[in-house]
Each structure stands twice: as structure tokens, then as C-alpha cells.
Structure 1
């Protein structure tokens, strides 16, 4: 079955959007869904994150078009995601084992031998291990609830087809494949001003819709430089 592929471009300032609101401003709420809310800072953070992913895959006019689509559809997408997570909680879905297996796969493909090495690799990109796990859990819960709800609506009378489906359920799941890319800036031997200047250079190129892989090949100081920031897929 054809895989869905999503490329994730990671840079040091990926999650900086949470600080966009002034300290004296009460957090704004953009949507209330049952007992949950979506705040303005969450909305801005998600917009920034998704734009990073788009810049890692697209450029030019195509990127501009997708940016406009994102602006139009982001809030609806966040509401849909939250409704799916609420339903998953209500049904008591558990993705602990799926998360564990995915983490092992990520470590294996990136030559990491322990959770501590993965934590350090994420921390170098400004991403906390806890946020990484939380996002992975939420993605898996959403996939599982979609599959469970779709499965309930499939009515098949032929007993042989039903039996085949039960035995081969995994064949009917279309997996999402994530490609992880990053730009690594080494801190050793650099002043904070030098590091900040380098980050600004990279940000300017990405904001100008330059190809993420080319920027990684030019600026990254890690072993992934030669592969244009590509850390593999999972």
C-alpha cells in the first residue's frame, strides 16, 4: 500500500512561537470544544510548526499557495484534532506500545543507542523529549480513532470477506511515514552572539522560502550536513 510521507524540518527556533504574547496580556482563547480550549498561543505555535514543515518540502509559488491554505484551514484542523483526541480519551485508547516501537525505530535509524541520546539530540534542536512523545501519542491516537470509527461504518454481509478483514486488519491501515530533517549548530567555540547571528542567517533563508535541504547542506555542522539535514524516516 502506498505510504503517506510527511517531511519534518527542525531548526533551533521551531517552538519559539509560544512567547509571542506579551507578559501582561491574559491568554486569549480562540475556540472552546466541550471541556477543552484552543488558546491563541497554541494556534500561533501550531502555525509556526506547520510552516516549518512546508518550507522543508516546498518553495516558491507552491509554498505561497499552501501557506494561504494553511491560514484558511488551520483552526478547523485544530478543532477536528481536538475532537478526535476527546473521543480517543472517552474510548480509553492506549498507544503506549505503538509509541515504544516507534521510538525504537527512530533510535535505530539514527544510530542512537539509548533514550538519553535521543533526548540530547532533540534538546540540541530546542525540542523537549516530553513534547516529542506527546505529539507522537496524539498523532497515533488520532489515527486509531479514525480507523476505529471508519471500521464501524463498514457493513459487509459476506462472512468470508469479514473473516479475511479480521485476520488482515493491518493491511488496511495506511501508515504515515515521517522524514526528519534538522539543521544543527554546534555551540562549542562560539560566542552567544555568533550563534544568534548564524540562527538569524538560517531563519532569513527559510523565511525567504529557500529549500530546507539546501540550507541544511550550507549551514548544518552535524554529520547530517552531507545528506542535506536528512535524519531518516519513521
Structure 2
């Protein structure tokens, strides 16, 4: 499948002299902006918030990078071995700068297209987030306080996310189409697996008490892991794509493959896994299962006993496959579209 061209901008031609002038004006703008960001600390010390990148007529400052990457940098500092700390932080810093550049490009594009977000849309989005996470307004406010964030700042971030989503919906999502033939090909390749003897083709999703955002107290962490696994199971059983859920939430290495661990024979499975999987029919999802490392959820794709092969019925997974292919194609087309926008903008990392 090919992706349509989503940007219709033409590069602006200019003489070498004009290009030099424009570049230097932007560099001067960066310097002026940084100088204007002079702040007086409580000890009356003066500091300059240095620029790290220029995006068209806007700048990205060091404080923006530090604020956007605060949690990531903290996690790396806590988990990375000493010899890997410097390169890990350098890589994370580059990732954050790229994300901030992407954000500024999207917001500028949305403004140029007169796309806006109302307060009512922000309210609805916030309500949906609270309902989806079964969180009260008081719990939400308390969590923000732990993160050192005001609700006003959170709402502004949410507004920008909605704005970007509207833009991407218009420019990219609406133009991505998955034909039936592609779904059938994917089904034949991924939802059946030929095995010599009996076997079970399985997807898995695991939540551990040592996973991210878990309490430090072991008992509380185990309880939180169980609650999180039950919430994800509810999402899977109400039709959400199991592979996407595994990629998003699973703490296991198989998360990168959407929880796909291939085919297992009966005697290859741990007892808790065998007891859960062998009770399932193709397409069914297990309840939350306690394991030595946390809580597991399994989905059986196909099974074979002797000469009898059982597959997940095509119609039962058709929409799940369509969603998987749609997300893959969406990511490919979005990346291409963003590269086109970036190539037409002035972007310089300092």
C-alpha cells in the first residue's frame, strides 16, 4: 500500500544572500530570546536559560527540555548502570528535543489551518480520562501534585494533544485505508501456525509488581498489579486489540511483539500457564492468572491436537487485524508526513 502525499507546500527559492540573512536573523532571534529569559533566583543569582534548538521563528530552551524529560531523566538516573548513565541521558535528551520539535511543528501547522480546541472539548477529554482510569477528581488532583504539576498546566498540555490529534486526523488518518485482501493475508500469516504435533499458539500480557508506577511497598505493589491486570482484561474483553494492549501495558519482553510468544506444547508450559491456556477455545481470553512474577493474561489464537487443527474464526478477529494494520500504516504515513513538514521548516539543533 502506498501513502498519499499529505503536504502541498512548495519549497521557497531564494538567493544565497537571502538565505544567509534569514539564517542569521533566526540565530539572532534565538540569542535575543535566551537573553530575555534572564531570571533572578531566590539568592539573587542571575542565570540564562540557554537555547537548544530553533524551529522556524520559535525556540526550544533548556528548561523546556528539562521539564518535558524530567520523569524520563529521573528514571534513567535511578536505573542505568554508572557506565551507561551518560550515553543513556544523551539519547533521552535527543528524544525529548525531537518530540518538542515535532510538537512545535504540529502546533504551527494547526494554527496555519485555523484548527482550534474549545474549553468544552478539553473538559470532555479530561472527563473521559478520569472515567477510563476510574479516578475521582480528588485523586487526579493529588496525582498532579505528586508530579509537581498544576491542573492549568495539565489542561494546556491536553489542549495541545487534542489540537495535534485533530490535525493528524485531517491530514493523515482519514487517508489511510486497509483493503480486505491485506486483512486476509495477515490472517493467513499470523493467526495460523503449522506444528508437527499438538500445540497452542498464544499471546500473553503480564503485569509485574516491579513494573513502572508501582508502589514501593511489596503488598501494595502486588495489589496494584492485580488491579491493573483486571482493568486491562476488561479492556480486552470489550473488544480492544489484545496485541495493542500488550504493547502498551505489558511488563514482559514479549510486549514489543504484541505479546506473541508463538506455539507451545503442553509439556513446555508452566503449570499456571497450561491450566489457563488448555481451557480456552481459539479466540478466547483467560482470566487474570497469578504467576511467580505477577499477573498474566493469555489469548489463544489456535490449537492443534493430533490431526485436528483449530483456528480462530476469521470473522472473530477481522476487526482486530484491521486495527493492527491500520495502526502500522498510520505510523508509516504519519512519519512520512512529518518528515515532509520538517523538511519545509527551518529547524536547527544547537
TM-score, normalising length: structure 2: 0.34
TM-score, normalising length: structure 1: 0.48
Whichever of the two has the greater Rg, that structure is: 2
Larger relative contact order (CA 8 Å, sep ≥ 6): 1
